[in-house]
Copies of this chain bind each other. A is one copy, B any other.
Amino acid sequence: MSIDHEPLRGLLGRDPVVATSGVALFADELRAQAVPVSEVAWKPVGEHSREALATVMADQRRVAANAEALARMTAAEAMLVDVVLARDALGLERGTFLHAGPPITWERASGPLRGALIGAVLFEGLAQTPEEAEAQLAAGAFEWEPCHHRDAVGPMAGVVSPSMWMYELRDEVHGNTSWCSLNEGLGKVLRYGAYGQEVIDRLHWMTDVLGPLLQQSVRATGPFDIRAILAQMLQMGDEGHNRNRAGSLMLLRELLPGLITADGSSSDIAEAVRFSGANEHFFLNLGMPACKLATMAAHGIPGCSVVTTMARNGTDFGIRVSGTGEEWFTGPANTPEGLFLGDYGPEDANPDIGDSAITETGGIGGFAMAAAPAIVKFVGGDVPFALTATQTMYEITEGEHTAYQVPILGFRGTPTGIDVTKVVRTGVLPQINTGMAGRVAGTGQVGAGLVTPPMECFTAALDALAQHAG
């Protein structure tokens, strides 16, 4: 066997650089002596988590379980197979609602979630005025639970009521189905907590006109491969969470032939096409359930430390992990920092809200920012930040996606499968791009920005993994 000395020669031919980690003192001293330094970001693991981390890392099932989780996530299909009413698809009864994030009571609910529930009560005709709706909601007249408890996802407040249409996506490989509501556009919309008459009127039009036309289109010319569109989007400057421009256009192209030939008035069809074409976030409500299907496939593997849910209700940030069943690990939601619409400012922003962090959980969104440098004009930051965000996420993920690739990184697969142990070990938190809802119920969208989950979700999940350790 011959040994190739070239790499060593290369090493010796370069000037040495000292790498430091931990406290900045080491690096500062070296720099003062004109020694080249490369600082590695690293924080020691909190004392509380050291034992749990050792226990979980020693769990002999973990390595194979995490590899299996990544394999299932990247193998999961996401075919748009139907458009169906929530009452039929999810068994959602009159007076019951779904919402984004982990479970929450009316008392602790944020402004935008309260606003969206008020709007949904009005939309369903369960109250005649916002005041009446609010009083009934506060009095416990209705019930609500997380979308995730019914294998559904909802952006922002994520409120779903029985009369809303849902996209139905199917993963035949793992036998799973997921659902998401139709996108209403931007600005004053229910999912951002607005409930004015224009919001309610639009929801009725979506139920009466848009939904049936979309159903006809999907049934006539579908199913449509949403995963394939996601893969293409990442080559077209989208990251699939806050930038869905190419994806929305590709989805429209798929739906068009069936829409044009649908049984409906030509003015209704033209309005459905116009409404869909004008909405650059039209695709988000397809990308989310596609990522939900990927994480559903990875859920429930004993010993697996991969995150399968990240979701926020505007008050709490909650995660669920493959190896710990249906338990939520929660912490207070952070408030995003970013760019604001019109005269809105940081004081108007509600803390982080929505199930849309399922995109990051599935390996896109903030994890694929390097594919979408133009997004910094929408969520803030700059192009180097976008590149670094994706590259940093490789430190906390199980591996790379096989279908979702980042051209500028030489077509490297996106960082996929957040590993709780890596988050706790490195102190690096998942990067999330997100819309910002107004703090006050009824406001609507105020901006878009960048946010991370609270670390305590991950330390709590680690403790639970340690308790379940084999």
In the complex, the answer to whether B277 meets A253 with C-beta atoms within 8 Å is: yes
In the complex, the answer to whether B246 meets A253 with C-beta atoms within 8 Å is: no
Q: Check: A252 CB closer than 8 A to any chain B CB.
A: yes
In the complex, the answer to whether A253 meets B249 with C-beta atoms within 8 Å is: yes
Contacts of A407 in B (CB 8 A): 237, 373-374, 383
Q: Check: A408 CB closer than 8 A to any chain B CB.
A: yes
Q: Check: A15 CB closer than 8 A to any chain B CB.
A: yes
Q: Check: A256 CB closer than 8 A to any chain B CB.
A: yes
Chain B, Cβ-Cβ closest to A411: B383
A236-B237, A374-B407, A383-B410 known; A277+B256 contact, CB < 8 A: yes
The 8 Å CB contact of A273, one of B256, B277, B373, B408, is: B256
The 8 Å CB contact of A237, one of B246, B249, B261, is: B246
Of residues 219 to 256 in A, which have CB atoms within 8 Å of B's CB atoms? 232, 235-238, 245-246, 249-250, 252-253, 256
Smallest CB–CB gap between A212 and chain B, Å?
Answer: 17
How far is B382's CA from A274's CA once the two chains are assembled, in angstroms?
39
Smallest CB–CB gap between A278 and chain B, Å?
Answer: 9
Q: Check: A41 CB closer than 8 A to any chain B CB.
A: no
The 8 Å CB contact of A374, one of B13, B235, B250, B252, is: B235
A15-B15, A373-B407, A408-B408 known; A246+B256 contact, CB < 8 A: no
Contacts of A245 in B (CB 8 A): 232, 236, 246
Q: Check: A175 CB closer than 8 A to any chain B CB.
A: no
In the complex, the answer to whether A261 meets B270 with C-beta atoms within 8 Å is: yes
How far is B407's CA from A321's CA once the two chains are assembled, in angstroms?
36
In the complex, the answer to whether B261 meets A266 with C-beta atoms within 8 Å is: yes
Contacts of A252 in B (CB 8 A): 249, 253
In the complex, the answer to whether A260 meets B269 with C-beta atoms within 8 Å is: yes
Q: Check: A257 CB closer than 8 A to any chain B CB.
A: yes
Q: Check: A8 CB closer than 8 A to any chain B CB.
A: no
Q: Check: A34 CB closer than 8 A to any chain B CB.
A: yes
Is the contact region of chain A dominated by helix, strand, or loop, or is it mixed?
A: helix
Smallest CB–CB gap between A404 and chain B, Å?
Answer: 13
How far is B273's CA from A407's CA once the two chains are assembled, in angstroms?
30
Chain B, Cβ-Cβ closest to A406: B373
In the complex, the answer to whether B260 meets A270 with C-beta atoms within 8 Å is: yes
Contacts of A237 in B (CB 8 A): 235-237, 246, 407
Contacts of A250 in B (CB 8 A): 249
How far is B257's CA from A246's CA once the two chains are assembled, in angstroms?
19
Contacts of A277 in B (CB 8 A): 253, 256-257
Of residues 328 to 347 in A, which have CB atoms within 8 Å of B's CB atoms? none
Contacts of A13 in B (CB 8 A): 34
How far is B383's CA from A303's CA once the two chains are assembled, in angstroms?
39
Contacts of A273 in B (CB 8 A): 256-257, 260
Contacts of A411 in B (CB 8 A): 383
How far is B231's CA from A245's CA once the two chains are assembled, in angstroms?
14
How far is B236's CA from A274's CA once the two chains are assembled, in angstroms?
21
The 3 closest A-B pairs by CB, nearest first: A249-B249, A373-B407, A235-B374
Extra contacts, 8 of them, besides A237-B246, A373-B407, A383-B407 (Cβ < 8 A), are A13-B34, A235-B374, A236-B236, A246-B246, A249-B252, A249-B253, A257-B274, A260-B269
29 A-B residue pairings within 8 Å (CB atoms): A13-B34, A15-B15, A232-B245, A235-B237, A236-B237, A236-B238, A236-B245, A236-B246, A237-B237, A237-B246, A237-B407, A245-B246, A246-B246, A246-B249, A249-B249, A249-B250, A249-B252, A249-B253, A253-B277, A256-B277, A257-B273, A257-B277, A260-B266, A373-B407, A373-B408, A382-B410, A383-B407, A383-B408, A383-B411
